[in-house]
Structure 1
Amino acid sequence: MQVPVALTIAGSDSGGGAGIQADLKTYAFHRVHGASVLTCVTAQNTQGVNRVDALPVAAVVAQIEAVVGDMGIQATKTGMLLNAEIINAVVSQVKSFQLDPLVVDPVMVSRTGDQLIDDQAITSLREGLIPLATIVTPNRYEAQLLSGLEIHTLDDMRSAAQRIYQLGANAVLVKGGAMKGDLCGVDVWFDGSQFYTLKTMLIETKNNHGTGCTLSSAIAANLAMGKNPLTAVQKAKEYVTTALQYALDIGQGYGPVGHFFPLLPS
């Protein structure tokens, strides 16, 4: 049986809710074979991250070469790349192997506003990787960093999307999970010619760990299946919304979304 193959280049979440683990679960749900390249290993659970160890750049490159040299890759997503050296190496490999379509989840700032990578890595993301993206999916705080704008309103989200688009990505999805009030969960799409506002029902749950990773990998899975970019985003948002409805109450902190909700007991 032949199925599409999607690649994720990201970090490992030992708690299984985000990162590589979330990506592979999402790919499997969409009946897409998931291949993975680890950039870093985290010691984390539902309560937080205790430790992060970057893999050597040579190990990251070797993983990409092994996978791409053997398999046809129909779509790729990047997540936590951690430092400038890894980002620059990934940029070189994306160009060398012409990995397209490419979904860039610019993991720089958490949903709570905590910066996760240093300024040099942010520059490498902005100048090296984002210009290669088919779709880039910043959250509110990442969009503020990339655009240089404060984001409080829907118009602010649109202005930020326009600014980020100018960095070279084919399309931008500014995510509204960290927005307040009626804008919470509202996302803004911009592809250089049209804006599109995406809104689904708001799911009230504290168990939302891994939503950003899950959304970007769901977009990549839909692209791998041949969907156009906007449709891929719409389908991915529907998937994440339903997975939030079936979020798992695991651990003492913020549990993960229910990636495999059809298999959960009714």
Structure 2
Amino acid sequence: MTNTYPQALTIAGSDSDGSAGMQADLHTFFARGVYGASVITACVAGNSYGIHASVPLPTNFIDQEFQDLAADYHIRAAKTGMLADSELINDVVRNYQAADFGPLVVDPVIMTKHGNQLLEESAFETLRKQLLPLATVLTPNFYEVEKIAETTIHTDADMVAAAQKMQAMGAKNIIAKGSHAIADQTTVRDFVLLESGDSFWLSEPYHATDRVNGTGDSLSACITAELAKGTPMKQAITIAKAFVNTAIGNPIDVAHKFGPINHWAAQERTYD
């Protein structure tokens, strides 16, 4: 009976306020009935007002985390979150390639949902050239789609072309998230391009709320959890979209400014 329970891995930083990063991933794994393990890459001190300090972990410690998990656990799917610099990205790539941790979901964490760049340009180039080709699933937000594909998106056709370009870079399945900055917005539409060549749009209601911390982390984590359970790719992506939208649409009263999404409301919903 050893290691028969589905297990997933998050490779990410630890956020002290619990709203994003590794904590949001583990919340999501739990909500989807998957055991969650973690490779912590950095520790972040912050709250709903902002991030106030961060400390990267040394690569030799990260190497040991990978080795210990590979020696004992049966990780069936893994995901990455924010990776701070080129050295860390290369280290994660090397360790993932050496392990047998199943499909990899890459949340690129290059740009914020407001369009501010998080990574230095050198680290972005490393991510695009080294990590992106390993992605079983790539989950960029609207601004990351534009950044990775080196394009400006105005129309549905632009989004389709950008997804095709990212797939040509090596990522197998793409969920290109739509803009959240449309006047009088009522829906959020994401474009999905599968490895098979099939494609479709996903649409969910737009919720005007500041309780959205951890949205991207939770989407990629939900896909990871479903893949760890053996859920087919298309179904895994559609469940993840609905899961996150439910979590956003049922806010919880935590913290003062930008609060977390509600994983517990999403856990209570049944997904076909």
Q: TM-score, normalised by structure 2?
A: 0.92
How is 1:76-225 mapped onto 2 (pairs within 5 angstroms)?
Answer: 76-181=78-183, 182=185, 185-192=188-195, 193-225=197-229
The question of whether the paired residues in 2 share the 8 Å contact of 1:134 and 1:169 is answered with: yes
Following the alignment from structure 1 to structure 2, what is the Cα–Cα distance between the partners of residues 232 and 114? 29
Q: 1:236-255, aligned counterparts within 5 Å?
A: 236-255=240-259
- Tell me which amino acid in the other structure corresponds to 1:129: L
One-letter code aligned to 1:171: N
One-letter identity of the residue aligned with 1:228: P
RMSD: 1.7
Q: Match for 1:124: what amino acid? A: T
Letter paired with 2:151: L
Q: Distance in 1 between matches of 2:26 and 2:127?
A: 23
Q: For residues 71-103 of structure 1, what are the alpha-carbon distances to aligned partners after superposition, in whole Å with 9 as ceiling and x for unaligned?
A: 011100000111111100111111111432110
Distance in 2 of aligned mates of 1:183 and 1:220: 28
The separation in 1 between residues aligned to 2:5 and 2:15, in whole angstroms, is 26
Find the aligned partners of 1:70 and 1:148 in 2 and give their Cα distance.
41
Tell me which of 56, 66, 71 is aligned to 2:73.
Answer: 71
Instruction: State the secondary structure of the residue aligned to 2:158.
Output: helix
CA 1:202–1:86: 2 relative to 1, 3 Å: same
Which residue type is aligned with residue 190 of structure 2? D
Task: Give the fraction of aligned pairs with identical amino acids, expressed as a percent.
Answer: 38
Q: Secondary structure at the match of 2:115?
A: coil
Alignment check: 8 A CA contact 2:219 2:240 kept: yes
Amino acid at match of 2:168: Q
Identify which of 233, 238, 254 aligns with 1:234.
238
Q: Does 1:18 align with 2:20?
A: yes
Tell me if the contact between 2:59 and 2:88 (Cα under 8 Å) persists in the aligned partners.
yes
Q: Distance in 2 between matches of 1:184 and 1:122?
A: 30
Q: Secondary structure at the match of 1:199?
A: strand
Kindly provide the amino acid, as one letter, of the partner of residue 233 in structure 1: I
Taking structure 1 as reference, are residues 191 and 208 closer, same or farther at Cα in structure 2, changes over 3 Å only?
A: same
Gap runs ≥5 in structure 2:
none
1:185 shift after superposition: 2.0
Q: CA deviation at 1:183?
A: 8.1
Farther off after superposition, 155-164 or 173-182: 173-182
Q: Which runs of 5+ in 1 are unaligned?
A: none
Matched to 1:186, the amino acid is R
Q: 1:88 to 1:184 in 2, by over 3 A?
A: farther
Separation in structure 2 between the aligned mates of residue 236 and residue 65 of structure 1, nearest angstrom: 29
Asked if structure 2 preserves the Cα contact closer than 8 Å seen for 1:186 and 1:198, the reply is yes
Task: Report the equivalent of 1:6.
Answer: 8
CA contact (8 A) 1:76 1:99 kept: yes
| 2:50 counterpart residue number | 48
**8 Å Cα contact 1:206-1:254 kept in structure 2:** yes
AA aligned to 1:188 is: F
Change (3 A) 1:233 1:139: same
Equivalent position amino acid for 1:224 in 2: A
Cα offset, 1:61, TM superposition: 1.4
The answer to whether the 8 Å contact 1:176/1:183 transfers is: no
